[in-house]
Structure formats: structure tokens, C-alpha cells
Structure 1
Amino acid sequence: MQTSISEVSILTIIISTLLILVLVGMVVYYLFLYQQKRFLHEKQVQELHDTFTQTLLQSKLEIQEVTLDHIAKELHANFSQLVSLININLSTILPHSSDEAREGILETKSLAKQLLLELKALSASLNTDHIMHIGFIAALNNELNRMAKTKKFNVTFSKTGEEYRLRPEHEIILFRLCQEVLNNIVNYSQAELVTAALNYQEGLFELEISDNGIGFDAGEVTKPESGKASTGLLNIRKRAALIGAEVMIESAPGAGSRVSIRIPSAATT
């Protein structure tokens, strides 16, 4: 009788243990399903956020391009015309001017001519259709030449590899990105030497822009949460993300700066 009771107790313990194990297994399984669903949900939310952010940035850039095109047309149609009229008026006045005034008028005509050339160059750099027509390399070369003409910078530009075109919309974004880089150099670097180097490889486009200026703490100014974050450098990264480009910004106080851009073959035509 005692043996029978012992067997029943053992059997009860075994069944209870199995039931507990089954319950634990079910709890673990449902926890796993919950974590998996939570992970998928968070992933979907992040993807939606990234898509929204990218779409918003793309919209901002499209609006910016429309605005720049409008400014470019205004510069070409109105301001350039006004400068041309000033030059014509000066030419009319010149024959009737005294010898003393003649030199000043000629100098003013020269300045007006230079201003007209600068306005045309600026208008071209803002005009999206013009950039798409002449291509990224010619547009970048024009920007570098404008820098060189200021006599403040010694500019070098080199290319290696067999040249090819990127997608037109990518060339526009890349050019605006380069304008941002060059604008930072002009305004903040105090550099004397600016170097741009293009490297065309099969399946990879590389561009490097460097200067010998005062430099900056790259770690601080590229952190969004940093109080010293540079809006220009953050915009460079955002623009690069739109075309699948990898951007490396290297700099240190007193050591100049270097911006490297790499675009994989998926971004090329």
C-alpha cells in the first residue's frame, strides 16, 4: 500500500514538473514572440521615420533648387542687364569727360565688366539646368576657378581614371554638397591652398576636397547633439545620404581639413 502511494507521489511530481516545464516553455515562447513583434514594430517605425526624413529632405532640396533657379534667372535677366546699362552709360559719358575723370570712368567700366562676369558665373552656378547640361566636373571646375580668381587661394584640381557621368539628379546634389564644402573653406578655414581630386574607378566614384587652413574639431562639429555642431557639415551628411554616398570629414585644430566622398556604382549611370 505504501509502495502504491509512493508511486502515485512520484508520478504526481513528474506530471507537475512536466506541467511547470510546459508552462515555462509557453511563457518563454510568448515572450519570444512578443519581443520579435516588438522588434519588428520598432524596425517599421524607424523605417517610416527614415523614409519621412528622407522625403522631407528631398522636398526641401527640390524647393531649394526651384528657388535657386529663380534667383539665377533674376540675376541673369535683371542685374546683368542693369550692369550692362551702366557700362553703356559710362561709354557714352567717356568721350565728353575731362582727362582727370577719364581714368576713373575707365576703372569703373573695368569693375562693371568684372561684376557682369561674376554675376553670369554666379547665375550659372545656381541654375540647375545649366549644371545638368555642362556636367558635374565642369560645374565644380567653375566654382574652383571663381575661388582662384579672388587671389586668396591657390587652387589645384586633378582627375584620375576614365571619366563617366553620374545620374543627373545625383550630380546636382553632389555639386550642392561641394558648394557647401567650398563655402565653409572660404568663410572659416583661413586657408591658402585648396585641393580637389577626383578618382574614377569601375563601380566607385571618389572625390576629395582638402585645405591647409586652421582646421577644427571634426568630432565635435559633426555631432547633432553637440552644442558646437555645424549646420553646414550636418547638411553635407544629409545630402550625401540621399545619393547613397559615404562622407568622411577629417580635421583637427591647426591641421587643415579633408572631406572625402565615395559613391558606389549603384549611383552611376
Structure 2
Amino acid sequence: MQETFSQDPYLTVIISTLLLLFFVCLLTYFFFRQQKKRFQHEQEVIELRESFNQTILQSKLEIQDRTLQHIAEELHANFSHLVSLININLSAILPQSSGDVKEHISETKALAKQLMTEVKALSVSLNSDFIMKTGFVKALENELDRLAKTRQYEVSLTKSGSLVKLPPGQEVVLFRLCQEILNNVVKHAEATKVEVTLNYADHSLTAQVKDNGKGFDVKEASAKSAEKESTGLLNMANRARLIQADFELMSNPGSGTVVTVVLPLNQ
């Protein structure tokens, strides 16, 4: 009887300890479960926000693209027609002219013809339907040809690997991205040489645009772009993000600029 009584305190301690451990484990389980739910909720909020931002971005770019399409149609339909009429009128005046006047009219006709060619090339570069029909590479070649015809730049295009046809939407966005990079070279770089390389690998397309211009401080430009909500650098990064491409811009004052876009290819 005395032995059984003496064991009761030990049994009570063991049971109490087990119960305490059980409640600690239960509280720990509920704590981690709540943390997991909270984390999942935060992830869902982030995903929803990202999805919303992507939708807004895509809508903005679609509006821009429709605007460019409208401009291309207007250039082709109206501006080209007006240039043609100018050329017709000059042709009618030319036989009645002589000397310096005739020479000036002939030069003006040549300029009008050159203007017509430029307008058509510009119209093509703004036309998304043309880009989707001809493909990204051909559209980029046309853009580089237009740049070379200004005779202000030494332009080169190097291609490697097996060309892969991209989905139409990707081709348009990638071309607009490269077009914007080239426009920035024209507007800001003060360059004389533009080198473009396209490298098709097994699972990615790397497009790189390099110029020998004056360069700039990337961090400073990015900060100013964010503060002023400028559309230059932000637009390029946003277009790359829209097609899940990696975007890298490297530049230093006095050493030119290199822009690299790596687009994953869905096999």
C-alpha cells in the first residue's frame, strides 16, 4: 500500500508533463497553421496585384499599338496621297520651266520621291499586321535598313542559331521593344555605330543592341525615370516583362550602351 502511494506523485508528474507537451504541440501546430494561411494569403494578394498590373500594362501597350496602327494607316492613306499629288503637280510644271528653276523642280521631285519612300517605310514599321505577317526578324531588318539610309550610322545585324518563329503577340512586343531601343539611340546616344545581334539557342532568344554613343549613368537615369514616370526605360522594362523576358541595360558615361533581352522559347 505504501509503495503504490509513493508511485502516485511520479505518475501525476508524467501525466502532467505529457498533457503539457500535448498542449504545447497543439498550440505550435495552430500557430504554424495560421502562419501558413497568412503566408498563402499574402502570396495570393501579391499574385492578384501582379496579375492586375500585368493586365493594366497589357492594356496600355495594346492602346499604344492601336494608336500606332491608326497612324500607319493615316500615313499610308492620306500623307502618301498628298505627296503623290505634289509629285504630279511638279511633273506638270517641269516641261514649262527652264534653267535654274527646272533644276530646282527636278531636285524637289527627287526629294518628294525620297519622302514617299520614307513615309512608306515608317508606315510599315508602325503597322502591327505587317510585323505579324513578316515576322520579327524581317521587321527588325527593315527598321535597321531605315536607320542605315540616314547615312548617320554604321549599322550591322548578326544572326546565329536556328531561327524560331515566335507567337504573333510576342513578335510584335519584342519588335516594339527593339524599336524603342533604336529610337533611344537616335534621340540620346549621339552614336555613329549600331550593332545588333540575334542568337537563337535551344531554349532562348538573345537580342542585343550595342552602340558607341556617349553612354549615361543607369542608376541616375532609372531614378529620374521613376520620379518623373518617364516612359523610356520603364516602357522597355515593361515590354520585356510582358513577354517574360530578362532585360538588362549596361552603360557608363563615355563608353556607349548595351541592351540585352533574353526571351525564353517554348519548345
- State whether TM-score is above 0.5: yes
In the other structure, the counterpart of 2:89 is 89
| Contact 1:246/1:263 (<8 A) preserved | yes
Task: Report the AA paired with residue 108 of structure 2.
Answer: T
In the other structure, the counterpart of 2:76 is 76
Task: Report the AA paired with residue 177 of structure 1.
Answer: L
| Contact 2:225/2:233 (<8 A) preserved | no
1:204 aligns with 2:204: yes
Task: Report the AA paired with residue 231 of structure 2.
Answer: T
CA–CA distance in structure 2, aligned partners of residues 230 and 66 of structure 1: 21
Task: Report the AA paired with residue 80 of structure 1.
Answer: S
Task: Report the AA paired with residue 51 of structure 1.
Answer: S
What's the CA shift for 1:224? 8.8
CA–CA distance in structure 1, aligned partners of residues 161 and 127 of structure 2: 28
In the other structure, the counterpart of 2:183 is 183
In the other structure, the counterpart of 1:192 is 192
In the other structure, the counterpart of 2:122 is 122
Give 3-state SS (helix, strand or coil) of 2:248's partner: strand
What's the CA shift for 1:75? 0.4
What's the CA shift for 1:181? 0.5
TM-score (norm 1): 0.90
What's the CA shift for 1:97? 2.2
CA–CA distance in structure 2, aligned partners of residues 55 and 11 of structure 1: 65
What's the CA shift for 1:13? 4.2
For residues 173-222 of structure 1, give each alpha carbon's deviation from its aligned partner in whole angstroms, at most 9, with x where no partner exists: 10000011111111111111100011122332121110011112223434
In the other structure, the counterpart of 1:52 is 52
In the other structure, the counterpart of 1:32 is 32
What's the CA shift for 1:62? 2.0
Distance 1:227 1:56, change over 3 A: closer
- The number of equivalent residue pairs is 267
TM-score (norm 2): 0.90
Give 3-state SS (helix, strand or coil) of 1:249's partner: strand
Identity within the alignment, %? 53
What's the CA shift for 1:230? 5.5
Q: Give me the CA root mean square deviation.
A: 2.4
For residues 149-182 of structure 1, give each alpha carbon's deviation from its aligned partner in whole angstroms, at most 9, with x where no partner exists: 2222111111112223211211111000001111
- 5+ long unaligned stretches in structure 1: none
What's the CA shift for 1:29? 1.2
In the other structure, the counterpart of 1:221 is 221
Bigger mean CA deviation after superposition, 83-92 or 97-106: 97-106
In the other structure, the counterpart of 1:139 is 139
Task: Report the AA paired with residue 145 of structure 1.
Answer: D
CA–CA distance in structure 2, aligned partners of residues 112 and 126 of structure 1: 21
For residues 4-58 of structure 1, give each alpha carbon's deviation from its aligned partner in whole angstroms, at most 9, with x where no partner exists: 8875555444444433333322222111011100111111111111111112222
In the other structure, the counterpart of 1:157 is 157
Bigger mean CA deviation after superposition, 172-181 or 219-228: 219-228
Bigger mean CA deviation after superposition, 80-89 or 144-153: 144-153
In the other structure, the counterpart of 1:259 is 259
Give 3-state SS (helix, strand or coil) of 1:247's partner: strand
CA–CA distance in structure 2, aligned partners of residues 188 and 124 of structure 1: 24
| Contact 1:221/1:228 (<8 A) preserved | no
Task: Report the AA paired with residue 219 of structure 1.
Answer: K
Task: Report the AA paired with residue 28 of structure 2.
Answer: V
Distance 1:199 1:111, change over 3 A: same
Distance 1:58 1:227, change over 3 A: closer
Give 3-state SS (helix, strand or coil) of 2:156's partner: strand
